[in-house]
């Protein structure tokens, strides 16, 4: 196979593997959520709050592309399980800030611990240069995915109307 054909085959393989990885990741998160008696949206809400910090319900609705009613239901479920808590916004008492209750999440870390350890073992097999490339690639794919998600949700109104 010549260089252009090999390159095209590798690009096709990367796209296919990306799709497979996406599916397997989604299925893993679904199984992890079910193990805790939660839905995938509940788990992604907790993940978003852990990664991006406390948010108002409106900010969460926008970030997760949910209606305000749907996000209120998610917050209610998570608050019942004591995974999150609502606190008054110090700047605007009419708003409520949703924060992760870290001490109650600690036991759920076990769900992800095995996966984290497996990935750590895998990453240990790569050189520093390869790791630098993987970091660059993953950062780019995250940015690209966020941009493509924004295209899909452009014009979406979190009130659920138009």
Mean residue pLDDT of the chain comes to 89
How many separate domains does the chain show? 1
**Residue 74, domain extent:** 31-125
| E strands present in the chain | 55-56, 84-88, 96-100
Q: What would the pLDDT profile of 118-138 be if each residue is shown by its tens digit? A: 999 999 999 999 999 999 999
> CB neighbours (10 Å) of residue 43?
21
158: pLDDT strictly greater than 50:
no
Give the model's confidence band at 109: pLDDT under 50 very low, under 70 low, under 90 confident, else very high.
low
pLDDT of amino acid 160 = 46
Residue 56 pairs with which residues in a beta bridge? 97
Which token pair is 98? 């949703």
| Assigned domain for 70 exists | yes
CA-based angle 102:50:99, to the nearest 5?
Answer: 60
Which token pair is 15? 């796209």
| Assigned domain for 16 exists | no
């Amino acid at each position: 196979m010549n260089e252009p054909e090999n390159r095209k085959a590798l690009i096709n393989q990367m796209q296919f593997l990306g799709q497979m990885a996406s599916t397997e990741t989604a299925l893993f998160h679904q199984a992890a959520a079910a193990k805790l008696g939660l839905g995938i949206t509940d788990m992604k809400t907790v993940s978003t709050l852990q990664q991006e910090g406390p948010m108002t319900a409106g900010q969460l609705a926008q970030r997760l592309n949910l209606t305000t009613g749907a996000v209120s239901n998610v917050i209610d479920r998570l608050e019942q399980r004591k995974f999150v808590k609502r606190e008054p916004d110090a700047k605007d008492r009419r708003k409520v800030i949703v924060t992760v209750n870290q001490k109650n999440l600690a036991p759920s870390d076990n769900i992800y611990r095995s996966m984290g350890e497996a990935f750590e073992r895998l990453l240990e097999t790569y050189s520093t240069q390869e790791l630098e490339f993987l970091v660059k690639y993953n950062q780019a794919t995250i940015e690209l995915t966020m941009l493509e998600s924004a295209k899909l949700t452009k014009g979406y109104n979190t009130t659920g109307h138009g």
